[in-house]
Amino acid sequence: MTIAEELRALAERVPADGPPAVTLARQRAVGAAEAVAAALTADPTLAERQQRWLDVLAELLRRLTPLARQASAATECVRLSAAGASTAHLGRINPLAAEELDAVSARCPELAAQVAAAAWPDWNTPLRIRELSSSRMPGEHELAEIAAQLRRAVASALDLAYPDPEAVRLTKLADQIAKRTD
């Protein structure tokens, strides 16, 4: 399942009917999922670069379904109380569920817009590909560790009078790696 499909599925779980707060929450969720799906279609590298915010959006969408149920139950409780009927069968009610639902659902389109704004329409140009490649490179500290580990691995072979040419080559490689970190 792609990220876009996952977000759409999460948005579709929010009930389509119910009090206005629930209906609005579903509209916001579906709109956010569609906006991100469009951005991911326009820029396939977006998921890698915006993974953190996509995860946050997915978590917010997951929270909407239980909040929608709680908001519906709170609305039903108010309706039954106004009619003088018993509300004991409803169990515990979160009186702030509608407000929480509104706050969480309002954040979804904001996050979707933030993710969509980070899309690169020119993602497949050499400049952007080099930029992406650069972002995937290990940091200087990690490169220094790799160079040190490589030197340690061939150190015993270099201690001999006639070291293996491969050990000498690997030492030169470790020097090249270390030079990048200096």
With CA atoms as reference, report the closest residue to 108 among 38, 32, 55.
32
The residue type at 73 = A
Q: What is the pLDDT of residues 127-160, one digit of tens each?
A: 988 988 998 899 999 999 999 999 999 999 999 9
Give the range of the structural domain holding residue 98, as residue numbers without chain letter.
3-121
C-alpha 182/C-alpha 179 separation (Å) is 5
Structure tokens at 131: 């930029």
Q: Is residue 181 scored above 80 in pLDDT?
A: no
Q: pLDDT digit string (tens) for 63-93? A: 999 999 999 988 887 788 788 887 778 778 8
73 and 154 assigned to the same domain = no
Residue 176 has pLDDT above 80, yes or no: yes
Q: How many residues appear in the chain? A: 182
The answer to which of 90-99, 102-111, 125-134 has the lowest mean pLDDT is: 90-99
Q: Is residue 85 part of a domain?
A: yes
Same domain, 58 and 144: no
131, part of any domain = no
Sign of the four-CA dihedral 33, 30, 116, 40: positive
**Position with higher pLDDT, 180 vs 33:** 33
Same domain, 36 and 65: yes
Percentage of the chain exceeding pLDDT 90: 74
Residue 3 pLDDT exceeds 80: yes
Instruction: Convert the pLDDT of each residue in 29-68 to its tens digit.
Output: 999 999 999 999 999 999 999 999 999 999 999 999 999 9
Is residue 112's pLDDT more than 80?
A: yes
Residues 8, 11: Cα–Cα separation, whole Å: 5
Q: For residue 130, is it within any domain?
A: no
Number of domains in the chain: 2
Q: Which amino acid is at 20?
A: P
Residue 133 lies in a domain: no
pLDDT band at 182 (very low <50, low <70, confident <90, very high): low
Whether 99 is covered by a domain: the verdict is yes
d(CA 16, CA 127): 44
